[in-house]
Structure 1
Amino acid sequence: MKAHNRSSQTIRDYDNKYYMHPWEGMDSFGQADRTISASAEGIYVYDEHGNRLIDGPGGMWCTQIGYGRRDMADAIADQVMRLSYHSPWNTASEPPAVLAKKLADLAPGGLNNVFFTTGGSTAVDTAIRYMHFYNNRLGRPNKKTVISRDKAYHGSTFLSASVTGRDRGKNFLDVDRERVHLLPDVNPLIRPEGMSLDDWCAAKVKDLEDAIVALGPDSVGAFIAEPILASGGVIIPPNGYHKGCMEVCRKYDVLYISDEVVTGFGRLGHWFASKDVFDIEPDMITCAKGLTSGYLPLGACLINDRIVDPISGPDQEGVMFNNGYTYSGHPVACAAALKNIEIMETEKILEHVREISPYFLERLHSLRDEPMVGDTRGIGLVGCVQGKVTGDGDSYALDQQFGAKVDEKCEEMGLIVRPMANMCVFSPPLIITKTQIDDMFDILREAIRQVAREFPQAA
């Protein structure tokens, strides 16, 4: 079958008839009118009509170095011809070995043990399974409950979905609720009137300690937390929150899993945010997305020496960590990750993020003067614009309408946004310039103003 020569209508027909998309809305199943992405370059995606669109969400938080890099394509092609695959179980090869060392060098402290996965969900699965394995080997078979948070997103495989706290009321898929406990929302925006951020932080850390005590320290195996709750609406916990939670975890011998699938690889201006931004050295870090800038699927779980050394060595004969994937340490994906890191180092992309982030946040927060904007929040090159809609009828339905209409207007004017109810989230490619930031937020402002005319009840 020849590629790249079908009409838009044929592609759309095939897409609707044969392709069941992730997070598929069953009310429009087989009848969706999705934009067809035809090509991409830099921070731009081109649709089937040749229209140029700024990629505001950076794909799914992942297109760090931008699209269409010839040097990345060459590195991938070279590895395909050299060694396209090998069994990760009983053979080794250069790309995963070198990448594992590189990640250990970039990660904080003792996070020197790298387990490669197929993406973020399987990285979180691996972290939870390692916690199970670790406690079983230490003779603590009941220490397995995972504490997560309301609004958290950790993936869509069974274990990662089980520890996800976002949209649980609308989830028609089964999850393991018996060994998961969700803490209340940490969003400072909802704190009681008159409460300081410091007091809010103390209360949220206390939520964790209270939960561990109530559940029993002998039953709680891990606390999992995104440094910022990305898909939950770019919720940024108050200063000191993560460090306080780490101290609580150490007090009760609970493993701390930092889910850096979004924040890793430059999104906040550092390779990993855990230590450099939030001053913690977790027991495990999960990552994916920006690891290859979305060029190929790859994830990893980085495991601290402190929880590997006690259960490894000559006295562990016959003991195996029975977890793995056919594509663990895939040599082509690992070659892509190595090239991605090389590009980011050579072109000083992390330094660029730290330099340009204040301007990105300034333009983001300038939208607060729009009547339909209830809040803006962000850190690094990730941000959220939250709508404020009031009126008769179901508030959630109004929020959905707001997000959908802003999305539609933005696309008409050349911007992709990611609507989540009444929120639009941004995580553009890290190579974005000031001029492109201006273009992005100018389009968003105009879209919000146009939508406001359709909501006369707007606050």
Structure 2
Amino acid sequence: MNSLPHPASAPSNQSLDEFWMPFTANRQYKARPRLLESAEGMYYTDAEGRQVLDGTSGLWCCNAGHGRKEISEAVARQINKMDFAPTFQMGHPLAFELAERLTDITPEGLDRVFFTNSGSESVDTALKIALAYHRARGQGTRTRFIGRELGYHGVGFGGISVGGMVNNRKAFGAQLPGVDHLPHTLDLERNAFTRGLPKHGAELADHLEKIVTLHGAENIAAVIVEPMSGSAGVILPPQGYLKRLREIASKHGILLIFDEVITGYGRMGEPFAAQRWDVTPDIMTTAKGLTNGAIPMGAVFVNRDIHDALMHGPDHVIEFFHGYTYSGHPVAAAAALATLDIYQRDGLLTRARELEVYWQEALHSLQGLPNVIDIRNAGLVGAVHLASRDGAPGTRGYDVFESCYWEGDVMVRCTGDIIAMSPPLITEKTHIDQLVEALGKVIKRTQ
């Protein structure tokens, strides 16, 4: 274990005991807390006054960087004008305006929008839409879902059921019945240190045919995958893999759901990964970058045919018994509209393409450092995969993550022994240099 230059501390009058932190080793964190107090542009300022380069866009969400006045001002205007309006049997203009604006940048055909408050809610919404669609078409036997190993689809019971990260569900027991999982696409033996999409592994999509043979297509509602598995450590789709999934799903009448909570809103160099890799799903889940992380909000994009299949029966009857109190919240909608203005004005939805080669070469310059067994990248996202210590998996990754913060003044993300990075789309080459140089120095001295 590395020794840090100094322990951090909370403000003297600040108790850390009461907040049960999410996805955090609470006892470990509270023994040496990392407290962020303000943010602007590419940098956080912590409780000790240090500037820390944000190499993760907060949590994959602050794509336009921090402290965007346009967003905060839009939020302030809206909350002063109208703090809340229901969208159950009522409405407000911003939700409709936002839905229209969003469908200008979605893949063709995905032109119906259901608003949520998070990626987890977006996933559970998408799964329910899939079930309702098949039932509306007289195919109510289609109830099975197919996820993928190492997939992350949020923390609702639907999401953890189709997700493939076992720690997210093994403690909870109850899950959706009738869920299968495709094999993951991480293949270090054949694809280590690939620049961009790996060449080997498209055939793994054919496992979907085996599941269809096992259960019958008439019993399968949908297959859900992340175009790129972010939370598992930047696991990329092999060349041709997503197209093959699309072909098989279409052949058998199975809906294809892309979880673009991480890849959406410019991360891959197009508004959505579906456009970058030229594969259009039937349903697409998003959140995070929708409001630049400023206000919780998610959006599920649905093919019009799926939407229209539910628009039958008496006009006065609710077509889809699902929704959230805060669906299309006016303040969140104001934040999202301001965020879209920034993305489009500053060209951020495609900027990752401009930086991709520089980012790629900078990351791959770390090849050959001690314990680095793979480097992966696409768009403006990347990962450095470290060898695990014998009998202590995850500890090397955590030490690198913590030392980057305290010694390198950069914030990266660790998932096990994988260091993941996704800097804001406003990043400059100097920021990339700072991030990669700091990470390299830490890796060199981490045993």
Per the shorter chain, which TM-score range?
A: over 0.9
Q: Give the aligned partner of residue 108 of structure 1.
A: 107
- Residues 199 and 264 (structure 1 numbering): CA distance in 2 closer, same or farther, change over 3 Å? closer
Letter in 1 for 2:417: N
Secondary structure of the residue aligned to 1:21 is coil
Displacement of 1:154 after TM fit? Answer: 0.4
Residue pair 2:123, 2:153 contacting (<8 A) in 1 also:
yes
1:128 aligns with 2:123: no
Q: SS of the residue aligned with 1:328? A: coil
Which of 8, 13, 19 pairs up with 2:11? 8
2: CA distance, partners of 1:184 / 1:168 = 17
Give the one of 392, 395, 403 matched to 1:401.
395
Residues of 2 paired with 1:169 and 1:296: CA distance? 25
Query: In the alignment, what sits opposite 1:139?
Result: 138
2:403 alignment partner AA: K
Structure 1 residue 326, shift from structure 2 partner? 0.5
Distance 1:270 1:171 in 2: 36
Q: Deviations over 1:364-398 (max 9, x none)?
A: 111112122110001011110001245xx41xx1x
Write the mapping of 1:311-322 to structure 2, written as runs, cut at 5 A.
311-313=310-312, 318=317, 320-322=319-321
Letter paired with 1:333: A
Q: Which one is further off, 204-213 or 346-355?
A: 346-355
Cα pair distance change 1:317/1:158, threshold 3 Å: same
Q: Distance in 2 between matches of 1:114 and 1:38?
A: 35
Distance in 1, matches of 2:308 and 2:299, equals: 19
2:434 corresponds to: 439
Question: TM-score, structure 1 length as denominator?
Answer: 0.90
Superposition map of 1:155-304 within 5 A: 155-168=154-167, 171-176=170-175, 178-191=177-190, 200-202=201-203, 204-274=204-274, 276-304=275-303
Cα offset, 1:319, TM superposition: 5.0
Q: Which amino acid aligns with 1:448?
A: I
Distance 2:405 2:191 in 1: 37
Conserved 8 A contact 2:148-2:181: yes
Taking a change above 3 Å as real, the CA distance of residues 336 and 31 of structure 1, as seen in their structure-2 partners, is: closer
Looking at structure 1, the residues matched to 378 and 171 of structure 2 have their Cα atoms a distance apart, in angstroms, of 33
- Alpha carbons of 1:192 and 1:325: their partners in 2 closer, same or farther (altered >3 Å)? closer
Partner SS state of residue 104, structure 2: helix
245-254 or 277-286: bigger deviation = 277-286
- Is the 1:386–1:424 Cα contact (8 Å) retained in structure 2? yes
Check the 8 A contact 2:312/2:319 in 1, yes or no. Answer: no
Q: In 2, Cα distance between the equivalents of 1:58 and 1:417?
A: 9
1:220-274 deviation line (CA, Å, top 9, x unaligned): 1000011101111101111111111011001110000011000000101111111
Kept in 1, the 8 Å contact 2:161–2:169? The answer is no
- State the Cα distance separating 1:175 from its structure 2 match: 4.1
Identity of aligned residues (%): 35
Q: Is the 8 A contact 2:352 2:379 kept in 1?
A: yes
Q: CA RMSD in A?
A: 2.1
Aligned counterparts of 1:149 and 1:359: Cα–Cα separation in 2: 31
Note the C-alpha offset of 1:168: 4.0
For residues 31-46 of structure 1, what are the structure 2 equivalents within 5 Å? Answer: 31-46=30-45
- Aligned letter for 2:404? C
Distance 2:28 2:147 in 1: 32
Partner SS for 2:339: helix
Distance change >3 Å, CA 20–CA 168, structure 1 → 2: closer
Q: Paired residues, what number?
A: 434
Deviation of residue 157 (structure 1)? 1.2
SS of 2:188's equivalent in the other structure is helix
Question: Contact 1:159–1:175 at 8 Å: present in 2 too?
Answer: no
Q: Which amino acid aligns with 1:403?
A: G
Contact 1:56–1:416 at 8 Å: present in 2 too? yes
CA deviation vs aligned residue, 1:314-353 (integer Å, no higher than 9, x gap): 6676352010000000011011001001011111123432
Query: 2:295 touches 2:332 (CA, 8 Å); kept in 1?
Result: yes
- What's 1:426 paired with? 421
The CA deviation at 1:199 is: 6.1
Normalized per residue, the structure richer in helix is: 1
State the match for 1:3 in structure 2: none
Q: Secondary structure at the match of 1:235?
A: coil
**1:184/1:99 Cα in 2 relative to 1: closer, same or farther (>3 Å)?**
same
| Matching residue's letter, 1:10 | N
CA contact (8 A) 1:377 1:385 kept: yes
TM value normalised by structure 2: 0.92
Secondary structure of 1:250 counterpart: helix
Query: Which amino acid in the other structure matches residue 360 of structure 1?
Result: W
Q: 1:209 to 1:433 in 2, by over 3 A?
A: same
Pair 1:30–1:404, CA change in 2 (3 A):
closer
Is the CA contact 1:58–1:428 (under 8 Å) kept in the aligned structure 2?
A: yes
- Number of the residue aligned with 2:18: 18
After superposition, give the CA deviation of every residue in 1:172-211 in whole Å (9 maximum; x if it has no partner): 1234252211111212325599xxx666312x12111111
Paired residue type of 1:310: A
Which shifted more, 221-230 or 310-319? Answer: 310-319
User: Is the partner of 1:207 in helix, strand or coil?
Assistant: helix
Instruction: Identify which range, 53-62 or 133-142, moves more after superposition.
Output: 133-142
Residue in structure 1 matched with residue 325 of structure 2 by the alignment: 326
Residue 267 of structure 2 aligns to a residue whose secondary structure is: coil
Amino acid at match of 2:359: F
Q: Could you tell me whether the CA contact under 8 Å between 2:10 and 2:33 is conserved in 1?
A: no
CA distance in structure 2 between the partners assigned to 1:160 and 1:142 by the alignment: 21
After superposition, give the CA deviation of every residue in 1:53-109 in whole Å (9 maximum; x if it has no partner): 111111110011111112211111011111111011122112111000011111111
